[in-house]
Chains A and B, each alone.
Chain A
Amino acid sequence: MSGVGTSQMEMAAGKPVRQGNRAVRRFLRHRLAIIGLLIILFLVLACAIGPSLLPYNQLHIDLRHRFQAPFMGPHILGSDQLGRDLLARLLMAGRISLTVGFVAMVLSTAVGVIIGLASGFYGGRIGGALMRLVDAVLCFPSIFLLLTLAALTTPSLLTITVIIALTAWMQVARIVDGQVRALRERDYMIAAEALGASDSRLMFRELLPNIVAPIVVSATLNVANAILMEAYVSYLGYGIQPPTPSWGNMLNNAQEYLTTAPWLALLPGAVITLAVSSFNFVGDGLRDALDPHMDLPG
């Protein structure tokens, strides 16, 4: 009786098809996202099991085959100035870079969700203060913040991951804050309050499930961002330290030989581009698939 098309549309869209299935179907129609997902799966698998299948490990020095170009000798993707196998190094570096990407994503998302939930839920002074904090952190160019923090600490896998996470939680916090503010006064929230629900129940049981979609999307984009950040910092020499390879410090190493052995720079660069854009495509696909507005036309 609410009248206009909406009730009709809703009726048409309603019934047994579960929301989850619809989202999966919409995602599968997003071709770039599927390609991105396949590439990510391939990269993860390759980095996980690839090194054990290769004849060389990433630190093995083979002085007879220094600067071997790709497909021109025993090293499939070539070798560097010490004759280390580039493929083995890329895969081992991938373990590091992808781990940094995922762990930083988990950390930054967790921090962002908690701060965003608290800020949106309590609103008022607490919410204002938290969002001003977000604004303040956002004011620094994140690369500058990253370098300052990295310069002040001893670089290690853990510190780099934490530092990257610290520069990436603000977007999530903002998104969550906005969503929570929009949902805070919904009738079902008031119903839960009228039942005497605790704050944590209201936040985590009632609100959180309703904002999973935007969080998942921004988390995916955060992985891409973290991989890129790790590459920046390591390239500039403040990140993962050699001899442990990472995609970033491989680039750093390659710059001396840019003219003589360009593959040393091109291959890690290509892998970074591939990984980052794959995550971005998946993020876009998820955004479209999880957008509740897409449910309406039925």
Chain B
Amino acid sequence: MTVTVTAPLLDVQDLAKHFPVGSPLSGKRGIVRGVDGVSFTIGRGEVLGLVGESGSGKTTVGRTVLRLQDPTAGAIRFRGQDITHLSRRALRPVRQHMQLVFQDPYASLNPRMSVESILSAPLIIHGEKMARGERRARVEEALQLVGLFPAAADRYPHEFSGGQRQRIGIARALMLRPELLVADEAVSALDVSVQAQVINLLMDLREQLQLSMLFIAHDLAVVGAISDRVAVMYLGRIVEVAPTAALFTGPRHPYTEALFSAAPDTDPARRPQRIVLKGDLPSPLSPPSGCAFRMRCPYAVSACADDQPALRVAGPGHFKACIRDDLTLSAPLKVR
């Protein structure tokens, strides 16, 4: 079985998720390509960051990978198994190896269930036969793992602060000791002082449990702190993917450059080089021809309208979907 050891934990090829829109009444019908032609892999123990603005399709990628939504096209291989078309029943044993952490700590815990029932639900669903006392012990162990007191098990979600609830949500995801965790904006609804705590917790857990993660967020600094590699999405496609340090010291796609430059910073030294993009995200119903970013891109040329650029090698492990190789883009950080 030496072959499977080197194979990635998650292998996503040409993933697409299209949504039909419009109503039969208005007569307007169309297809929104929420996610289109997305490919990536996550190795065992690796954290892949997925950055994008709203409407970029990053959440849909996370949900589709977990098969909470059915992909329109493409293939998802997890632990060497093709799970793209597995039935709900066949997915059940797979689910214990992949879990999800949500953005909103207020909506992700059932308000009518005690923390103990929330955390023991995974054990019950997966039919782990154990005495009540043993289950309680597992719950308390999980609470301690995420830095909460065991007595928290007897309380209800509304008795906790946002940061504490997020810890409970993480504990739930870890109950079955999954190999892959999809964290969908898991820290972006938290207070700044608590956000760092939860990021640190995720980093600790990753080390302790050899977790792999798909870490989805809109905040580049947050993603950079935790990810080994980062993929940048724009309008349903990955436009750049690179090892974290390489991306932060030398972005190769104009959109990545703009994202870096738009991020507000408390360091006044970094502000003057700001690029303010014109306009909004184009309507996903009628994306522009060729490169979807060209309407807002300060470097666009006429050739950008011709074809949708594919991801091409731009460096070791570094890929970009931009036809202009002649650009020198500004980077937020210098190579040390």
Contact = CB atoms under 8 A, between A and B. Distances in A.
Physical interaction between A and B: yes
Contact of B189 (A2, A198, A201): A2
B158 A14 contact: yes
B107 A1 contact: no
A190 B122 contact: no
**Max chain A CB contacts within 10 Å: which of B112, B125, B176, B191?**
B112
Given A187-B108, A188-B108, A209-B112, A197 B100 contact: no
Nearest to A7: B162
A195 B190 contact: no
Nearest to A208: B112
Interface string A187-220: 1101111111110010001100110100000000
A1 B138 CA distance: 32
Interface residues of B, number: 37
Nearest to A193: B68
Contacts of A7: 162
B70 interface: no
Interface stretch (B22-30, B91-99, B244-252, B283-291): B91-99
A197 B172 CA distance: 13
A14 B172 contact: no
A192 B112 CA distance: 14
Contacts of A18: 156
A188 B95 contact: no
B209 interface: no
Interface in A144-187: 186-187
B196 interface: no
A191 B102 contact: yes
Contact of B158 (A19, A187, A193, A194): A19
Interface in B81-97: 91-92, 95-96
A1 B99 contact: no
B1 interface: no
Contacts of B40: none
Interface in A25-56: none
Q: Secondary structure of the A side of the interface? A: helix
B113 interface: yes
Contacts of B210: none
A185 to B, nearest CB: 10
A16 interface: yes
A113 to B, nearest CB: 16
A253 B106 CA distance: 59
A187 B91 CA distance: 20
A19 B189 CA distance: 25
A10 interface: yes
Nearest to A295: B158
B322 interface: no
B192 interface: yes
Nearest to A2: B189
A125 interface: no
Contact of A195 (B63, B104, B109, B121): B121
Contacts of B99: 194-195
Contacts of B169: 191
B186 to A, nearest CB: 12
A296 to B, nearest CB: 12
Nearest to B184: A187
B125 A195 contact: yes
B158 A195 contact: no
17 contacts: A1-B192, A18-B156, A187-B102, A187-B107, A187-B108, A188-B107, A188-B110, A190-B102, A191-B108, A191-B169, A192-B110, A192-B121, A195-B96, A195-B121, A195-B122, A196-B126, A209-B113
Interface of B: 63, 66, 68, 91-92, 95-96, 98-100, 102-104, 106-113, 121-122, 125-126, 156, 158-159, 161-162, 169, 172, 176, 189-192
Given A194-B99, A194-B100, A212-B112, 12 more contacts: A1-B190, A1-B191, A11-B161, A14-B159, A187-B104, A187-B108, A190-B63, A190-B100, A192-B121, A196-B92, A201-B125, A206-B110
Interface of A: 1-2, 7, 10-11, 14-16, 18-19, 186-188, 190-198, 201, 205-206, 209-210, 212
- Ranked 9 nearest A-B pairs via Cβ: A209-B112, A187-B108, A196-B95, A196-B92, A188-B110, A187-B107, A1-B191, A187-B102, A194-B100
